[in-house]
Chain A
Amino acid sequence: MRFLGFLLRRIVGIAAVMIGVSVITFAISHIIPADPVAAALGDHATDAQIAQFRAEYHLDRPLPEQYFIYATGILHGDLGKSIRTRRSVADDLADSFPATLELSFAALLISIVLGVPAGVWSAVSRGRLPDYVVRVLSLAGGSLPVFWLGLIVIGLFYYQLGWFPGGGRLDTFVPPPPTRTGLYVLDSIFAGNLEALRSSLVHLVLPAITLGYFSTALVARMTRSSMLDVLGQDYMRTARAKGLREPVIVLRHALRNALIPTITIIGLTFGSLLSGAVLTETIFSWPGLGRYATASAVSLDFPAVLGVTLLAAVVYPVANLVVDVAYYWLDPRIQHG
Chain B
Amino acid sequence: MGKRTPILREPLNVVALALITAFAVCAVLAPLLAPYDPLAQTLSSRLEPPSATHWLGTDSLGRDIASRILYGARISLIVGVVVVALAGVFGTFVGLIAGYAGGLADEALMRFTEVFLAFPPLILAMAIAGALGPSLTNAIIAIAAVTWAVYARLARGQLLSLRRREYVEAARSIGASPGRILGRHLLPNAIAPLLVQASFDMGAAIIAAAGLSFIGFGAQPPTPEWGVMISEGRNFISTQPWLSLFPGLAILFAVGAFNVLGDGLRDVFDPRLRRAG
Binding site for B on A (CB under 8 A): 16-17, 20-21, 24-25, 28-29, 32-34, 135, 139-140, 142-149, 151-152, 154-155, 159-160, 224-226, 228-229, 232, 271-272, 274-276, 278-279, 282, 293-294, 297-298, 300, 302, 305-306, 308-309, 312-313, 315-317
Q: Determine if B121 is an interface residue (Cβ-Cβ < 8 Å).
A: yes
Are the C-beta atoms of B132 and A33 separated by less than 8 Å? Answer: yes
- Assuming the contacts A154-B237, A309-B123, asked whether A17 and B215 have C-beta atoms less than 8 A apart, the reply is no
- Chain B contacts with A in 131-171, Cβ cutoff 8 A: 131-133
- Assuming the contacts A21-B118, A21-B119, A225-B277, asked whether A298 and B133 have C-beta atoms less than 8 A apart, the reply is no
Q: Determine if B72 is an interface residue (Cβ-Cβ < 8 Å).
A: no
Are the C-beta atoms of A297 and B211 separated by less than 8 Å? Answer: no
Are the C-beta atoms of B244 and A145 separated by less than 8 Å? Answer: no
- Chain B contacts with A in 75-124, Cβ cutoff 8 A: 111-112, 114-116, 118-124
How many chain B residues sit at the interface, stated as a range, is 35 or more
Are the C-beta atoms of A20 and B127 separated by less than 8 Å? Answer: no
Interface centre among A21, A148, A297, A309 (most CB of B within 10 A): A148
A23 and chain B: residue at smallest CB distance = B115
Are the C-beta atoms of B118 and A139 separated by less than 8 Å? Answer: no
* Contact stretch, chosen from B29-37, B54-62, B63-71, B252-260: B252-260
Are the C-beta atoms of B132 and A151 separated by less than 8 Å? Answer: no
Are the C-beta atoms of B217 and A151 separated by less than 8 Å? Answer: no
B273 and chain A: residue at smallest CB distance = A225
19 contacts between A and B (CB under 8 A): A16-B111, A28-B128, A28-B131, A34-B131, A142-B255, A145-B207, A145-B210, A145-B230, A145-B248, A147-B227, A151-B233, A151-B244, A159-B237, A225-B276, A232-B275, A272-B120, A278-B122, A305-B126, A305-B127
- Give the distance to chain A from B152, nearest Cβ to Cβ, in Å: 14
- Give the distance to chain B from A35, nearest Cβ to Cβ, in Å: 10
Which of B119, B121, B251 touches A145 (beta carbons < 8 Å)? B251
Which of A16, A25, A152, A229 touches B248 (beta carbons < 8 Å)? A152
Q: Determine if B238 is an interface residue (Cβ-Cβ < 8 Å).
A: yes
- Give the distance to chain A from B200, nearest Cβ to Cβ, in Å: 9
A293 to B126, CA, bound (A): 9
Are the C-beta atoms of A144 and B252 separated by less than 8 Å? Answer: yes
Q: Determine if B203 is an interface residue (Cβ-Cβ < 8 Å).
A: yes
Given the complex, which residues of A lie within 8 Å of B259, measured CB to CB? 139, 142-143
